[in-house]
Amino acid sequence: MSEVITKNNHPPKVGFVSLGCAKALTDSELILTQLSAEGYQTSKTFQGADLVIVNTCGFIDDAIKESLDTIGEALAENGKVIVTGCLGAKAAEDGGNLVRKMHPSVLAVTGPQATQEVMDAVHAHLPKPHDPFLDLVPNAFGVAGIKLTPRHYAYIKISEGCNHRCTFCIIPSMRGDLVSRPIGDVLNEARALFEGGVKEVLVISQDTSAYGVDVKYRTGFWDGKPIKTRMLELVQALGDMAAPYGAWVRLHYVYPYPSVDEVMPLMASGKVLPYLDVPFQHSHPDVLKRMKRPASGEKNLERIQRWREACPEIVVRSTFIAGFPGETEEEFTHLLDFMQEAKIDRVGCFAYSPVQGAAANDIPGMLPLELREERRARFMAVAEAVSTAKLQQRVGATMQVLVDAAPALGKKGGVGRSYADAPEIDGVVRLLPPEKISKTLRVGEFTKARIVSAQGHDLVAQPF
């Protein structure tokens, strides 16, 4: 079969914009892997593409606006646009599709995790360049596929959807209930990543501690051996697999259920990074109830204390919402006290902002924007004081640092991260030029470094 050549006389080119969170990023990677396997090329500009795919985010109003604006730009500059991702699944006020309502001329709209539907739409509007019998078909779920993250770290999505119904969140209405990936698939993907040189695997989902709940922790198979579809077994296997490569495994979106205690020995022994991203969102039991948060009945202060006893190195990262509807000054003070006592290492905080379609919009007691913002600022002042004091304690210590940037082999220094820093959301370790002339720094390699000072959210270190 002859190759399809477009009107511009080149193999078909697709422009791709990936917006949103790490989960959306993995969807983008799957689509790009499939496009590349079928011989499509990518274009860095809208004008240079034969068609544009926009992977959207629909989480908060700002993200929705950014997604709609990007679709508008792509339509203006290119004209042929396929929309996928969370916003694609969102309904407009009249019940129709929001994207179609705002941009009726888009070619196709799909929800998230819809690689096949997106590819069907691409095929319909921009035919495949190769003979399908000769196609290089990538393995399912992105094994060794295209990564949008730098080559040395990668996200692994272990499940889709969520069984909870937090009142501020519309993700379950867009992504559906929890569906765990087969554990054998997840481990195969991890193995391909480590073999391909990835030095840090970041486990993501909407609720990592719930992995396998939907399949009743079914026994799957990997490498010919039975293994339960459960967080503990998964983390253990990932840790074992990472060890010969000297690679890191980092856990995100873990809820403080008692079962998480079982992971502490794996962190204490260095099998997985002693780092836990636990989105607490608030501390006051009544606010947590209004939020309908998972594990809202847990005694979180005691739990964090126990984690620190079992694994003194542990770094806890969390996100919070200030000014949730009905939040009283007393409830907010509870949150400040919690922060001071729990000494959460890394913190993000949003002032509550209503999300269209979220149940929280019907909760009485919406606070004025200035008060929500003021509480956010007060919370962040406490959180930053805690974080700064913790970073200061590291001065003088030696840490292992994964190098993310090192121009000229690090002769002028570089930027890296320790186990305490997840990419993009936490601080970094600023590396000074090595003292030894023979020492080089390379992206994707580890170096030992002595911490010499703390600056804001970052550390400054001397590599050796």
Write out the residues near ligand SF4 by the rule CB under 6 A.
162, 164-166, 169, 171-172, 206-207, 294
CB 202, min distance to ligand SF4, A: 17
Residue 23 or 271 having the CB closest to ligand SF4: 23
CB 145, min distance to ligand SF4, A: 25
CB 272 within 8 A of CB 238: yes
The set of residues, in sequence order, having a beta carbon less than 8 Å from that of 49 and lying 6+ positions away, is: 13, 14, 15, 42, 43, 78
Residue 245 or 350 having the CB closest to ligand SF4: 350
CB 216, min distance to ligand SF4, A: 20
Cα four-point dihedral sign 392, 395, 397, 402: positive
Distance CA 341, CA 424 (A): 26
Tell me which amino acid residue 215 is.
V
Distance CA 449, CA 453 (A): 12
Tell me which amino acid residue 41 is.
Q
Residue 150 or 172 having the CB closest to ligand SF4: 172
Q: Could you tell me where the DSSP H helices lie in 131-182?
A: 171-175
Here the tokens at position 385 are 């004081």
Start-to-end C-alpha separation, the chain: 57
Residue 165 or 448 having the CB closest to ligand SF4: 165
CB 20, min distance to ligand SF4, A: 13
CB 282, min distance to ligand SF4, A: 12
What CA dihedral angle connects 290, 294, 298 and 304, to 10 degrees?
Answer: -110
Q: Is 357 helix (H, G, I), strand (E, B) or coil?
A: coil
Residue 109 or 166 having the CB closest to ligand SF4: 166
Residue 39 or 326 having the CB closest to ligand SF4: 326
Distance CA 378, CA 308 (A): 26
Residue 292 or 343 having the CB closest to ligand SF4: 292
CB 443, min distance to ligand SF4, A: 33
CB 306, min distance to ligand SF4, A: 22
CB 359, min distance to ligand SF4, A: 10
CA distances from 114 to 30, 141, 144 (A): 9, 11, 19
Residue 101 or 165 having the CB closest to ligand SF4: 165
Task: Count other Cβ atoms within 10 Å, centred on residue 1.
Answer: 10
Distance CA 76, CA 254 (A): 41
